[in-house]
Amino acid sequence: MFFQKDIETMPRKELESLQLERLKRMVDYCYNNVPFYHKRLSEAGVTGDKIKCLSDIQYIPFTTKADIRDNYPFGLFAVPQKKIVRIHASSGTTGKPTVVGYTRNDINNWSDCVARLCMAVGVTDEDVAQISFGYGLFTGALGLHYGLEKIGCAVIPISSGNTQKQAMILKDFGSTVLVSTPSYAMYMSEVAHEMGITNDDIKLRIGLFGSEGCTNELRDLIEKGFGLFSTDNYGMSELMGPGVSGECEFRDGLHFAEDHFLPEIIDPQTCQPLPAGENGELVITTLTKEGIPMLRYRTKDISRLNYEPCACGRTHARMDKVKGRSDDMLKIRGVNVFPSQIESVLTNIEGISPHYQLVLTRRNYTDYLEVKIELIDATLLENYAGLESLRQSAVSKLRTVLGIDAKVTLVSPRSLERYEGKAKRIVDMRNQEV
Ligand code: DLL
């Protein structure tokens, strides 16, 4: 199903000329309204009329998270304060948050983009959506909220946390759509089952998961746990929030809202554009944002673009599921390791739960990786031989996929922390060499 079929299936030629026209306009808009861009674009000698084709985007300087932080809080806003109707922020791991502002048009475009990805998996005005993202400065909850309301779906703004209550509401209100991070959905299904709630007691049929990576293996476990069909959606507050891209029912890549966002892939080391089909860092330019426009924003997310038409009829480019971040890709003894690779290995081993933690330490200038994995069955803790064989099997499967040795520690069921938002699975202590 489509929310804006004419736009979503627009012939590529037409779409690209719309993008070119909007890109030229966006460059001039930034130049004229944001002193930061005025300086950057003047230094690079780029103005809207110098952009003759889409690949000329490569002459525009990049924008980074540091640029937003340096202009904290509102320095990159392109409109006077009175035109801003909403402010969100993303909490960084350190220091000040990155702050973003939306005009009324921005909010309208944002809800259109979200409505598209909800309808692409079949959400209708008959659905009841439980939004279990945290409401607040985070864009996830209000982003999905407005998009779902636009379709006419009934929204339950429960926010995250209080997981037993979440399970009760799922059952009592007959929620048909669950909106959350995949790790929270996994946790919620464990809690619901512990409370004796079975899939016959609930009406969930669709999961709209996003805001963090999720392997297909973990997705399959969540779907089995709740008896639903789910899609992945991607976005970031700097660009808008959720709605930048999302899967359709074919789940063969996440369709961009390419009339609003122009994606590129670059080599994160050389910063040079990479041809379609290659893995690299996703760089995105907003084509319509008024509040805080972004020119060539470096997302740090690693993915790949596919411009082939999709079986669903959408013509907008698709990105692969995010493979990891160029900055939290783990470099262990010189080897690039993505946490998603580890997750795929673990979810394929019988007897262990999908909850894990990666602990990195450094001794004598050498990195060590410990993978803590939770058992499903506590009785195995009394069976040394069984435990050891499970451990060995995990070690050898990890070695085959990662190409390095990891220490595997099996821990009791339910002993690792659970998350109501994005999971924090990596504990990096390498700067505290022992
Ligand atoms: O997480 C926006 C969002 C909310 C997207 C709800 C989808 C659903 P931030 O908090 O600014 O915004 O975090 C953005 O999260 O650069 C990615 O590294 C990661 N991320 C977001 N969606 C996905 C996804 C929201 N589907 C950062 N898969 C991004 C993998 C994701 N990583």
Q: Could you read off the pLDDT of 253-294 as tens digits, one per residue?
A: 999 999 999 999 999 989 999 998 999 999 999 999 999 999
Q: What is the mean pLDDT of residues 216-227?
A: 94
What is the spatial distance between Cα 338 and Cα 411, in angstroms, rounded to a whole number?
A: 22
* Residues composing the chain: 434
Q: Please name the residues in contact with 98: beta carbons below 8 A apart, sequence gap of 6 or more.
A: 65, 68, 69, 72, 89, 90, 92, 237, 238
Q: What global pTM score does this model have?
A: 0.89
DSSP secondary structure letter of residue 114: H
Three-class HEC string of 63-108: ECHHHHHHCCCCCCCCCCHHHEEEEEEECCCCCCCEEEEEEHHHHH
Q: Could you read off the pLDDT of 312-333 as tens digits, one per residue?
A: 999 999 999 998 888 767 878 7
User: Domains in the chain, please, with CATH?
Assistant: 1-322 (3.40.50.12780), 330-428 (3.30.300.30)
Query: Does residue 25 carry a pLDDT above 80?
Result: yes
Question: How many whole angstroms from 139 Cα to the centroid of ligand 1?
Answer: 9
Worst-scoring range by mean pLDDT, 165-169, 198-202, 336-340, 372-376?
336-340
Q: Can you tell me which atom of ligand 1 is nearest the CA of 213?
A: 30
Which of 110, 211, 219, when mutated, tests ligand 1's pocket best, judged by the most ligand atoms within 8 Å of its CB? 211
User: Strands 318-319 and 305-306: what pairing?
Assistant: antiparallel
Q: How confident is the model at residue 434 (pLDDT cuts 50, 70, 90)?
A: low
140 lines ligand 1 (CB under 6 A): yes
Q: How confident is the model at residue 91 (pLDDT cuts 50, 70, 90)?
A: low
| CB neighbourhood size of 334 (10 A) | 7
Q: Taking a C-beta distance cutoff of 8 angstroms, is the pair 283, 307 a contact? A: no
Spell out a b/e string for 381-397, using b for 16 or more CB atoms within 10 Å of the CB, else e: eeeeeeeeebbeebeeb
Q: Could you read off the pLDDT of 405-432 as tens digits, one per residue?
A: 999 999 999 999 999 998 989 998 987 7
Closest among 333, 339, 363 to 431, alpha carbons compared: 363
What is the spatial distance between Cα 74 and Cα 87, in angstroms, rounded to a whole number?
A: 10
Q: What is the mean pLDDT of residues 379-383?
A: 88
Q: How confident is the model at residue 144 (pLDDT cuts 50, 70, 90)?
A: very high
Nearest CA to ligand 1 atom 31: 212
Q: What is the mean pLDDT of residues 3-8?
A: 98
- pLDDT attached to residue 93: 44
- pLDDT attached to residue 92: 54
φ, ψ of residue 288 in degrees (nearest 5): -135, -5
Q: Which long-range contacts (CB under 8 A, 24 or more apart) does 35-39 make?
A: 35/75, 36/67, 36/71, 36/75, 36/76, 37/76, 37/293, 37/295
φ, ψ of residue 385 in degrees (nearest 5): -65, -40
Q: Could you read off the pLDDT of 150-175 as tens digits, one per residue?
A: 999 999 999 999 999 999 999 999 99
235 lines ligand 1 (CB under 6 A): yes
Q: Please name the residues in contact with 231: beta carbons below 8 A apart, sequence gap of 6 or more.
A: 117, 120, 121, 206, 207, 208, 209, 246, 247, 248, 249, 251
Closest among 100, 42, 373, 76 to 236, alpha carbons compared: 100
Closest among 240, 208, 241, 235 to 319, alpha carbons compared: 235
Which of 116, 234, 281, when mutated, tests ligand 1's pocket best, judged by the most ligand atoms within 8 Å of its CB? 234
Nearest-5° Cα angle at 325, 321 to 328: 140
- pLDDT attached to residue 330: 81
Q: What is the mean pLDDT of residues 107-123?
A: 98
Tokens 């900055």 -> residue: 327
What is the spatial distance between Cα 402 and Cα 340, in angstroms, rounded to a whole number?
A: 11
